[in-house]
């Protein structure tokens, strides 16, 4: 089963690209063990049980991240529930996966939002959030970006990957016992992360990105 995206050269959201989500990740932080972040585990579950048409299990697992769906709605004014509920009630696997991918994108944006809201002043938190955003991209979205690149002759995956590296460099450093500390570069962080968002919207034009946040 595939999901066709609306663009000049259609690419597919296929099972094969999602094999990467079974690789070991490092989603430590916020109390989660490696590869144990709820967004990652539920996305994996939707793919796994979707192939088995186990809709009861899919519904149950998605219910466990209801708070995450509410979070992005409250921040970005994007309500994913109507489309998600429609996909679940119709047993439309393609629709459900597309909404879940949109949730991943908004959750990445949410990590940026909290970092920017704090002005990158909380170094450890900012570092963990950015690492999680990178893992969401790598484990759940990068496969389709690579397919888009192959079909369209673009290099968005490499560009996005490099942008995450740039974003890490904007966080600064606490140094050792305060010595050698480097101040964060908030404006640079905003520019780099916005570029990541825009590149993802090119590859996934059906994503709802929500309202612009004025900081």
pLDDT tier for residue 35 given thresholds of 50, 70 and 90: low
The CA–CA distances, whole Å, from 127 to 71, 132, 133, 169, 198 equal 20, 9, 10, 10, 22
How confident is the model at residue 26, as a pLDDT? Answer: 36
Nearest to 127 by CA among 203, 26, 42, 36: 26
Q: Tell me the per-residue pLDDT of 162-187, one tens digit each, with 9 for 90 and over.
A: 999 999 999 988 766 566 678 999 99
CA–CA gap between residue 142 and residue 71 (Å, rounded) = 23
**Cα(170)–Cα(173) distance, rounded to whole angstroms?**
9
In this prediction, residue 13 carries a pLDDT of 54
CA pair distance 76, 122, nearest whole angstrom: 23
State pLDDT tens for residues 72-106.
999 999 999 999 999 999 999 999 999 999 999 99
């Amino acid at each position: 089963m595939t999901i066709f995206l609306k663009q000049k050269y259609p690419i597919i959201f296929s099972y094969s690209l999602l094999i990467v989500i079974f690789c070991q990740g490092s989603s430590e932080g916020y109390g989660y063990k490696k590869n144990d972040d709820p967004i990652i585990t539920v996305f994996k579950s939707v793919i796994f049980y979707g192939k088995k048409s186990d809709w009861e299990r899919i519904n149950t697992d998605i219910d466990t991240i209801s708070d995450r769906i509410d979070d992005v709605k409250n921040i970005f004014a994007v309500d994913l529930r109507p489309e998600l509920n429609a996909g679940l009630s119709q047993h439309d696997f393609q629709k459900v996966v597309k909404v879940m991918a949109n949730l991943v994108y908004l959750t990445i944006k949410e990590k940026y939002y909290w970092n920017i809201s704090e002005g990158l002043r909380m170094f450890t938190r900012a570092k963990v959030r950015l690492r999680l955003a990178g893992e969401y991209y790598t484990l759940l979205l990068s496969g389709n970006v690579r397919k888009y690149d192959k079909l369209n002759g673009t290099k968005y995956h490499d560009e996005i990957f490099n942008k995450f590296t740039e974003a890490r460099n904007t966080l600064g450093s606490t140094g050792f016992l305060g010595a050698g500390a480097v101040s964060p570069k908030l404006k640079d962080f905003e520019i780099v992360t916005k570029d990541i968002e825009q590149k993802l919207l090119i590859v996934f034009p059906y994503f709802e990105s929500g309202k612009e946040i004025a900081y």
